[in-house]
Structure 1
Amino acid sequence: MLLGGCIDPFPVEVPEGEQLLTVDALIHSGPGPHRVTLTRSATYGSSFEALIRPITGATVLVRDQEGKVVFLTESEESRGSYFTPADFSAEVGKSYTLFIETPEGKLYSSFPERVEAVPPIQNLQSRTLVITQPGGNPPRSGVQLIAEIDDPADQNNYYFWRTGPAVYILQTRPDLFTPRPTETNPSRDPQPKDCCSVCYRTEISNNQSLFIAVDDDFNGLNTRVPVAFIEDDGLRFLDTYRVDVSQYGISQEAYRFLRLVKQQAEISGSIFDPPPATIRGNMISLDDPDEVVLGYFMAASEQTSRIYVRKDELSFVQNQSIIPDDCREVPGAVVDAPLDWRP
């Protein structure tokens, strides 16, 4: 029995994955600057090999159909991110092409992307969305934003929505402040602070999914479409929350790409799920047409709308998260309201 219990290890060799250029780029008709982010995809192997690395020192430019060229500048704070000049905006009806030269001298280009017109958001509303959790766990909740639009009847429209920076009234408990014990101050007793319990906090809002639509079912009609979901973390909706929603008119090819990305991101493990696959975008290598390049360069028209969500408008909120400190210690929080704060 002891001899029969011996196990010989079976060697398994996993081929190392290729690090692929990944492009995340969107220019639009709204005010700039507009961002292009370049990274290398992760590989299999050690934890160091799996890091997604930004591509720095690249030459990035956008050219329109008339040959006008705009060079992008790399950010010093966010390496691998390249920005257009602040006064640059895409023009409806024009086509744009993205060109990239990496520090190694490799050349990449997108296919031309045409900027399609998009109607304005007529109205933006919010409603509470409660998500039940398995195993008797407390439900999650958040705010779903719904846009009302008058879809044009003379063309097919493809929509894409993103949320911009958000501002909300942050409430903390400086009266409960207890410093971390140290050798010079071993006390664990609370040491209340005099200020401040109310701040205005700015954050990059985190949309929980891709929100896209095609007007096959509402061409030429007035319709209401879900365009964002912002989860309640116990802090955002204690008073008033403000967020901007951008509505983009994108090309049919860009819509197909985003639809495939959305399908892949929402795979649940069911036998009915589509098999995972590499999704090709509109970027190609000019040196090697067979090289796989990930991501997409989008050019779109933009319409933006702003909404204030108040606590008394919600039917359910999460239990309050307690921050036992001065609210000014929270990143992105200040005491003074923004100059354009008009709830």
Structure 2
Amino acid sequence: MSFASERSMRYARYARYVSLLALAALASCERVVGIEVTEGPERLVVEARLEAVRGLVVSRQEIRLSTSAPYFSNTTTPPARDAVVEVVDEENARVRLAETSPGVYRTDSLPLTVGRSYTLQIRWKGDVYEATERLVEVAPIDTLYFRARPNKSAATDGVRATIDLRDPAGTANYYLWDQFIDGVRTVAPDTLVRVRVVASDELFNGRRVRVFQPFDGIAVRSGQEVRIRQYSISEAMWRYYQALGAQTDGDASPFGVPSASVRGNVANRTRPDARALGYFSVSQVAERVARVP
């Protein structure tokens, strides 16, 4: 047998071996593996962002409380009912929020003051929860207009909501943005936009920011009404959203961020190991509204 013939036979045997491995791999991919997901203890979930609109006196505030639910549950998150919810400022002025519907707590008498700290206190099922945030002044939005993305054509790519602002000098500022198109919020549980748009002024402290498109992936159409809201947030809240965004925007690849719990700022004073989920924040808001030409 020639060397070439022997090599051909070896290659054929190798090819059959690889084919068998491939078939085995495909067969193994068809197996259904059942994974038992254990249910953790019930946790309080806090959705609480107190807001002060720049240039206006706003006294109405709302906080939502719910509880954690099983991972594969298809039901609505259970509301946390019958809680005692209060907000206390640094001068010890105390305002109680009434439960107006299951898990929704409101007040019409809580105006906020820039520079003042506010503490959320919740008493629920024998536990006391607390979180504190300070209200920081937000920079105004100078202009809201509509422009194509950089290096793109408006004719083929559409236009985006675009803003200009000037960041205050000498202080560290952190921002969060919301966008509403014809009254519908861009970021919602049933949209493809899963990450909150937040920023630190580390690279533009004290400078004028021009042609900024917070939602540059969302094209708007002629005739639509667009509202941009710009929030002041704390550094701790900025870090919270950075971590939350890394979790929700992971691509499940080997290089993606591994799943992990994101720790909020609502502490359980009664049982420190049973922290609440979610975040309590206090923000001033600047907003602009314009209609797309």
TM range (shorter): 0.7 to 0.9
**Aligned equivalent of 1:152:** 168
Equivalent residues of 1:124, 1:147 under 8 A apart: yes
Identity of aligned residues (%): 31
- Choose which of 161, 172, 180 in structure 1 pairs with 2:177: 161
Following superposition, the deviation at residue 245 of structure 1 comes to: 1.8
Gaps of 5+ in 2: 1-31, 150-155, 188-192
**Aligned equivalent of 2:16:** none
Aligned mates of 1:35, 1:303 — CA distance in 2: 19
Equivalent residues of 2:177, 2:214 under 8 A apart: yes
**Aligned equivalent of 2:204:** 218
Q: What secondary structure sits across from 2:238 in the alignment?
A: helix
1:40 counterpart = 2:61: no
| Cα pair distance change 1:42/1:66, threshold 3 Å | same
Equivalent residues of 1:20, 1:293 under 8 A apart: yes
Q: What secondary structure sits across from 2:203 in the alignment?
A: coil
Aligned mates of 2:269, 2:281 — CA distance in 1: 19
Structure with the higher helix share, 1 or 2: 2
TM superposition score normalised by structure 1: 0.65
| Cα pair distance change 1:58/1:141, threshold 3 Å | farther
Aligned mates of 2:176, 2:246 — CA distance in 1: 15
Following superposition, the deviation at residue 229 of structure 1 comes to: 5.8
Following superposition, the deviation at residue 27 of structure 1 comes to: 0.8
Aligned mates of 2:236, 2:274 — CA distance in 1: 20
1:64 counterpart = 2:89: yes
| Cα pair distance change 1:73/1:272, threshold 3 Å | same
Equivalent residues of 2:178, 2:186 under 8 A apart: no
Q: Which has the larger radius of gyration?
A: 2
Aligned mates of 1:88, 1:273 — CA distance in 2: 42
| Cα pair distance change 1:14/1:157, threshold 3 Å | closer
Aligned mates of 2:110, 2:256 — CA distance in 1: 41
Equivalent residues of 2:127, 2:271 under 8 A apart: no
Aligned mates of 1:206, 1:292 — CA distance in 2: 30
Q: What secondary structure sits across from 2:292 in the alignment?
A: strand
Question: Would you say how many aligned residue pairs link Structure 1 and Structure 2?
Answer: 246
1:109 counterpart = 2:124: no
> Given residue 185 of structure 2, which amino acid in structure 1 is its aligned partner?
S
**Aligned equivalent of 1:270:** 253
TM superposition score normalised by structure 2: 0.75
- Choose which of 115, 118, 121 in structure 1 pairs with 2:138: 118
1:92 counterpart = 2:79: no
Aligned mates of 1:144, 1:288 — CA distance in 2: 47
Write out aligned runs for 1:129-140 (5 A): none
Q: What secondary structure sits across from 1:52 in the alignment?
A: coil
Measured against aligned partners, the alpha-carbon deviations of 1:20-77 in whole angstroms (never above 9, x if no partner) come to 21111111222242221111122146x47x642111222211110000111112233x
Gaps of 5+ in 1: 1-8, 130-139, 168-202, 311-343
| Cα pair distance change 1:75/1:142, threshold 3 Å | farther
